[in-house]
Structure 1
Amino acid sequence: MRNRTIIIALMGLLLLSGLCIGDLHAMPPAQKITTPNGAALILSEEHSLPFVTLKLLVEAGSSKDPPGEGGLSCLTARALLLGTQKMTATQIDEEVDSLGIVLDASPGRDFIVLNLRVLKKDLDKGIRLLFEVLLEPTFPEDEIRREIAKTMAEIQAEEDDPGSVGEKAFRKALFNDSPYGHPVEGTRESLTGITRDSVQRFYSTHYFPGNAIIAVTGDIGIDEVRTKLLPYIDTWQARSAQQVPYKASYEKGPKTITVDRQITQANIIMGHEGISRDNPDYYALSVMNYILGSGMFSSRLMKEIRDKRGLAYSVGSLFEAGKHPGSFQVILQTKNTSAREAISLAVKEIERIRSEPVSGKELDEAKKYLIGSFPLKLDDQAKLAGFLMQVEYYGLGLDYPKKYPVLIGSVTAEDVLRVAKKYLHPENIITVIVGNIKAVDKGSR
């Protein structure tokens, strides 16, 4: 669990700084094509290795799940690989293995992604297989039922993971019945009511080219894109999107939720409503959050709670910044008997960054890291394709490499204080504690 929390803290840094570029030359030039049926295609050529990576985003994430059918988006994405008009699930698996390619689906809250990685010599076969599963799925009833059973087993296994238990409890408490409130994979209760017809209906509603972004990187040029890839995209039938307004309600604290588990350490998530990716204060918040908690060993939370007090195994903070406002979170692990003290210290650090300017040293270190760490985030084709995909999805523009270092570099200590006061609300914090609650309560006396 310690490693999981560290990963989550790092994820927070990526969520607020993962779309960053410190140097224009860190990324090969990219170009965009908009197809007649509405799909957006972004290409970045890089010919040093004989591989091609393709990521195909469809805005059909779990936030689109109908009420009572949590997990439908995730199931639909996975079901694309369970059979087509020409191939069974077994035949698809055999084809993937024989070609030595990567072909899978990654569900998410705002969108799903189909991932393809293929050797240049097998590019035609890889593209054909990708678009066969995308455009010709049959959603076999027996395979759907097996996938649901498999997902239910995974959900049951997560009950033994205190971090997962805490994250689900926090999300349910904060987002309530809002689209971001349920797990991407759904729950055992919601999955029970999902049928093949549900999957077919969700696919028909959300899978169309105007809802898609295709990012391609690696050993492929624009002429090959036009001859090998665009013909498949052109066969994808266009349709108009159904405009469904995003309805959200966010609960406010103070509130503490305890989940009793006979474990030796408490897993704690505390936070409140966050921001969306298009928030103009995104960059100042990136700097502020780095100083507060996402900067790992240089962060205030780490220095105060772990280094100075020795109370936490790991601690960090993050902002989820998606299409719609996500959450602000502080995540930490400590001994059960230290839980209340660690929570109190975290709140004090939140209050401190809201009440006094950060030092010049903290500000400089944060900005240097956020600007300078970009090459590590784009050091392979998959990362670059993911970056291009999100740049297009969030409307950042292909000139984002030029803009990012300027936007981060212009953040001042006054900006950090301003956004901390505006977006951090210690009085509204919802706290979830997963641990031996008897020991937690004993430690607070």
Structure 2
Amino acid sequence: MFTDAHNRLWPLILAAGALLISSAPRAESVLPVETWQTDNGANVLFYATDSLPMVDARVIFDAGSARDPEGKGGTASLTASLLEEGTTERDAKAIADGFARVGAEFSASANLESTAVRLRSLTEDDWLWPAVELMAEVVAHPAFRDGDIQRERKRQLRAIQSRQQSAQAVASDALRKAAFGDHPYAHPTQGTRESVEAIEPDDVRAFHDRHFVADNATVVIVGDLDRQAAERLADTLTAALPTGSAPPALPEVPPLNESETRRIDFPSEQSTVLIALDGIPRKHEDYLPLYVGNHVLGGSGFASRLMSELREKRGLAYSTYSYLMPLRAGGRLVMGIQTRNDQVDTALSLMTEELSGFIENGPTDEELADSQANIVGGFPMRLNSNSKITEQIGALSFLDLPLDYFDDYTDRVEAVDDGDIRQAFDQHVDPERRVVVIVGPEAKEAEANGESD
């Protein structure tokens, strides 16, 4: 929606506040994670499980699209996709065959803020260690051959072209640019046609050399291993990485100074409307009141106020929603709806009205209680596999949240009251300062009538 397929980072960010935690007092940490550093400076987080003879390992780099070189958006995404295309020792087929031979699953992808390289393997020595060694080779010694780069660049350009056939994707990309302006968060993770065509092979190699270094790496290991095996795994994955250094912190996201509406002509039966308002960084102390409040406003599906007022009572849309986009350097609150072309103005007015009323009055006691119960009751689905546990731990580390964050989480959710929510929304969300993107077939006519800012 607002980012490429939510950029995979938004389930992690939202799930960072949603692990399986009992409300009863606990003598031990909910998530007892062991931590250490490798000799060359990579951070390691290890959580031992014994439910299955498997291990999930992930190396996370601060190397998302926010780190793309200026004017060359899509470099991070292109670099990640090329990791599977060959190393200095073997080609793409040999890499694929190597992982398949030991039954391992491997993938690499970039999102807005990070690049993650993932491995899932059985823990039996004959299966695990060949997979780990191959992953280490792929991460540290990609070949980045000119022919592979050109081929993957064409594939990425086709994917960008394909996104232009989706009104939702067009709206998401346009809103991201309008909401973040000149900030590194602004451009699509895959880049634009112009930016990807500007990427040269040396840009990919330089991006890898700068960002795929130990001091910029976090290794997360979850599975049926003991500490000694986990140390060996982390060392193997990072030994060939240069020490390097982490990139500097990104600039803070500036607040929206005024309202703006952008209309984009698109041949569709419905119009897609997205609204971005000011938000907060993930570590902000008001995150939890905003999260619980947004659950009431538009984050809980059919139970949300937006869905009740705009779909059930007025039939304006099949789906309407809101979500927080809390990043490390700032954030936005996003509202969205797809509605009939002749109902855009009505829907937009009602969404604004509902937001303003929510800021002023907050949730009802019943809405708040239902949302708190829903958040707490939904925890089991957030922690039902090693892979999801790996995501949670990786999110905590990347977002610089304390590893004991979950220990009293349900107590803190249940302690949020309507005053906390009203205060947080009143302080951080201003309906008069927003960016609106409307994608639909009436756009050209609207612009001709002077309705576009």
Deviations 1:168-206 (A, max 9, x none): 111111112210100011111011111111111111111
Question: In structure 2, which of residues 13, 21, 24 is the aligned counterpart of residue 23 of structure 1?
Answer: 21
CA distance in 2, matches of 1:247, 1:37: 30
Q: Is the 2:216–2:247 contact (alpha carbons within 8 Å) kept by the matching residues of 1?
A: no
Give the superposition deviation at 1:294: 0.2
CA distance in 1, matches of 2:14, 2:120: 27
Give the superposition deviation at 1:249: 4.5
- Higher mean Cα deviation, 322-331 or 89-98? 89-98
Deviations 1:35-89 (A, max 9, x none): 2322111111222222211111001111111211111111112222221121112
Find out whether 1:347 has 2:352 as its counterpart: yes
Query: 2:100: which partner in 1?
Result: 97
Find out whether 1:118 has 2:118 as its counterpart: no
Equivalenced residue count is: 440
Give the structure with the higher percent helix.
1
* Counterpart residue identity of residue 294, structure 1: G
CA distance in 1, matches of 2:249, 2:287: 26
Q: Is the 1:57–1:212 contact (alpha carbons within 8 Å) kept by the matching residues of 2?
A: yes
Q: Equivalent pairs: percent with the same residue?
A: 29
Question: In structure 2, which of residues 427, 438, 441 is the aligned counterpart of residue 436 of structure 1?
Answer: 441
- Higher mean Cα deviation, 52-61 or 116-125? 116-125
CA distance in 2, matches of 1:363, 1:264: 36
Give the superposition deviation at 1:309: 0.6
- Gaps in structure 1 of 5+ consecutive residues: none
* Counterpart residue identity of residue 380, structure 1: S
Query: 2:279: which partner in 1?
Result: 274
Find out whether 1:76 has 2:79 as its counterpart: yes
Q: Is the 1:277–1:323 contact (alpha carbons within 8 Å) kept by the matching residues of 2?
A: yes
Find out whether 1:333 has 2:331 as its counterpart: no
- State the secondary structure of the residue aligned to 1:427: coil
CA distance in 2, matches of 1:322, 1:244: 12
CA distance in 1, matches of 2:250, 2:264: 34
Query: 1:209: which partner in 2?
Result: 214
Find out whether 1:154 has 2:159 as its counterpart: yes
* Counterpart residue identity of residue 265, structure 2: D
TM-score, normalised on structure 1?
0.92
CA distance in 2, matches of 1:13, 1:257: 28
Question: In structure 1, which of residues 243, 246, 249 is the aligned counterpart of residue 248 of structure 2?
Answer: 243
TM-score, normalised on structure 2?
0.91
Give the superposition deviation at 1:22: 4.6
CA distance in 2, matches of 1:188, 1:93: 29
- Higher mean Cα deviation, 71-80 or 138-147? 71-80
- State the secondary structure of the residue aligned to 2:309: helix
Q: Is the 2:136–2:240 contact (alpha carbons within 8 Å) kept by the matching residues of 1?
A: no
- State the secondary structure of the residue aligned to 2:273: strand
CA distance in 1, matches of 2:109, 2:156: 14
Give the superposition deviation at 1:439: 10
CA pair 55-150 structure 1, distance change in 2 beyond 3 A:
same
Give the superposition deviation at 1:395: 2.1
* Counterpart residue identity of residue 296, structure 1: G
- State the secondary structure of the residue aligned to 1:278: coil
CA distance in 2, matches of 1:231, 1:170: 42
CA distance in 1, matches of 2:203, 2:10: 33
- Higher mean Cα deviation, 248-257 or 162-171? 248-257
- Higher mean Cα deviation, 429-438 or 64-73? 429-438
Find out whether 1:396 has 2:430 as its counterpart: no
Give the superposition deviation at 1:245: 4.9
Q: Is the 2:72–2:195 contact (alpha carbons within 8 Å) kept by the matching residues of 1?
A: yes
* Counterpart residue identity of residue 399, structure 2: Y
- Gaps in structure 2 of 5+ consecutive residues: none
- State the secondary structure of the residue aligned to 1:276: coil
Q: Cα RMSD over matched residues?
A: 2.6
Question: In structure 2, which of residues 155, 173, 179 is the aligned counterpart of residue 174 of structure 1?
Answer: 179
Give the superposition deviation at 1:27: 5.7
* Counterpart residue identity of residue 316, structure 1: Y
- Higher mean Cα deviation, 74-83 or 184-193? 74-83
- Higher mean Cα deviation, 138-147 or 259-268? 259-268
- State the secondary structure of the residue aligned to 2:243: coil
Find out whether 1:365 has 2:362 as its counterpart: no
* Counterpart residue identity of residue 389, structure 1: G
- Higher mean Cα deviation, 128-137 or 11-20? 11-20
CA distance in 1, matches of 2:103, 2:369: 46
CA distance in 2, matches of 1:48, 1:13: 24
Mapping for residues 189-204 of structure 1, pairs under 5 Å: 189-204=194-209
Q: Is the 2:163–2:170 contact (alpha carbons within 8 Å) kept by the matching residues of 1?
A: yes
Query: 2:309: which partner in 1?
Result: 304
CA pair 91-231 structure 1, distance change in 2 beyond 3 A:
closer
Mapping for residues 41-52 of structure 1, pairs under 5 Å: 41-52=44-55
Q: Is the 1:79–1:139 contact (alpha carbons within 8 Å) kept by the matching residues of 2?
A: yes
CA pair 117-393 structure 1, distance change in 2 beyond 3 A:
same
